[in-house]
Amino acid sequence: MTRLIDAESEVSDAVLTVIAHMPTTSLPVLMDAGFCRRLADADLMRIAVLLAQKSFDEGGCPIGAVIVDNASGWIVGKGHNTLVQENHPYNHGETAAIRDAGRIDFSRTTLYTSLSPCDVCATLLYMRGFERVVVGDVTNASGNESMLRAKGVQVDVLQDPCGIELYARYRK
């Protein structure tokens, strides 16, 4: 089967935007496994920020998250914050991505989040056993990275200028 995004496709904002907005279950039909393996941390964070932008455009809090299987590089879950849009206190970017991924073993995954996880999300990330969490913004909010590290979760900070600026605009 020929896929729209093959192993040699350029990693561009246009392609990452398509990936951000397509249902996760459609991604295996849309893109080749070789392309997924080529995505760097910065590319996956860009998808999380694009999801945060989606929330912002809907009038919500701009937080997006992407979950990747560490062995295959496949995106297994993604989501954006809909707390304001759906008037539900636990519809955070990270919780939406976890729901999207379903009942999987998270101990072999990495979660990319556009903003430092709140207390609820940090606790959930630890309890679900995530191997690694990559945080895109500790400028506008931070604090739970050390707690996650103390619980054995690898935490990397990959400051994303677009995500930082987006959340700063939201706070104004």
Q: What is the pLDDT of residues 58-90, one digit of tens each?
A: 999 999 999 999 999 999 999 999 988 988 888
3-state secondary structure of 30: helix
pLDDT of residue 88: 87
Average of per-residue pLDDT across 131-155: 94
Q: Check whether 168 has a pLDDT greater than 80.
A: yes
Q: What is the pLDDT of residue 98?
A: 98
* CB proximity list for 167: less than 8 A, separation 6 or greater: 52, 62, 63, 114, 115, 137, 140, 141
112-140 pLDDT tens trace: 999 999 999 999 999 999 999 999 999 99
CATH entry 3.40.140.10 includes domain 42-171: yes
Per-residue pLDDT at 75: 98
Q: Which residues does the annotation mark as catalytic?
A: 94
pTM score: 0.95
pLDDT confidence of residue 2: 78
Residues near 14 by beta carbon (within 8 Å), at least 6 away in sequence:
none
Q: How many other C-beta atoms are found inside a 10 Å radius of the C-beta of residue 161?
A: 11
pLDDT in tens, 16-55: 999 999 999 999 999 999 999 999 999 999 999 999 999 9
Quote the tokens at residue 73. Answer: 């590089």
Domain boundaries, the chain: 42-171
pLDDT score for 90: 85
